[in-house]
Amino acid sequence: MESVLTIYFSLGYHNCYCRGVLINFMKNKSVILSQDNLEEIYSAFNQGKIICIPTDTIYALSCDATNIEAIQKIYTLKHRPLDKTLPMFMSNTKMASLYANFYKKELSLANKFWPGALTLVSRIKNTHKNLPNLLKNNQKIAIRVPKNKLIQSICQSINKPIIATSANISNQKNINSLDEIIKEFQNKVNFIIKDNKELSDNCLTASTIIEFTNNEKYKILRKGRIPKIQLERILS
């Protein structure tokens, strides 16, 4: 059984506000899984659980991107301001295109760097404007297709994108080892997934985040693994 601490939240959602239970702190320890426990992992996402998962860059806090209660829990775990959106992972460019209305140059970058360490802040399609994790002021989403077969298989299995945000407290350094992840998030998440390999220093560099204001103009919101010179080669 879980010991529940009730906290009340206010979260902007389609120009209104919701109130309710925000997070429960678990009495039992987080379950640690290997990446081979696929059915348990898929089930955890389908059930709205919070999972700490290794990616192709850094460890991430993750959940079903359509589950508002799970998303609210991640905001609280990270102490993240509610006006900052959480990135979403897709299984492939085809899935991403179902959610995002890409400019041509965005799609050129996606075709070149996905799967990989490029996050695009893109316009949401009208058919998905009910997603709980939008940038409210401009109806955009931050999306990426990671170079990670486990995450791709999760998105394919549940047929949805997943939230994936750095497993740390907002504005603090990234946590890069399983031991540190367990120390920080034991009892705070439902599952922790072990990486099958040690991440190299290059893998511990976060993704590059860019946003287009039209088909020609873009800005780099966060410098990451893909340098500007590589972006310019594709865009020129």
Q: Which band of pLDDT confidence, cut at 50, 70 and 90, is reported for residue 128?
A: confident
Would you say residue 32 has pLDDT above 80?
yes
The count of domains in the chain is 1
Does residue 92 lie in a domain region? Answer: yes
Does residue 4 lie in a domain region? Answer: no
pLDDT of residue 134: 66
Whole-angstrom CA distances from 152 to 9, 38, 136, 207 are 32, 12, 27, 17
Average pLDDT score, the chain: 85
CB 90 within 8 A of CB 161: yes
DSSP E strands in the chain: the ranges are: 11-13, 16-18, 31-33, 51-53, 60-64, 88-89, 100-101, 118-124, 140-144, 162-166, 191-193, 208-212, 218-222
DSSP secondary structure string for all residues of 25-73? --SSPPEEE-TT-HHHHHHHHHTT--EEE--SSS-EEEEETT-HHHHHH
Task: In the chain, count H helices and then E strands.
Answer: 7, 13
Does residue 9 lie in a domain region? Answer: no
Q: Which domain holds residue 26?
A: 20-235
What does the block give as tokens for 235? 């865009």
Would you say residue 176 has pLDDT above 90?
no
CATH number, position 57? 3.90.870.10
Does residue 12 lie in a domain region? Answer: no
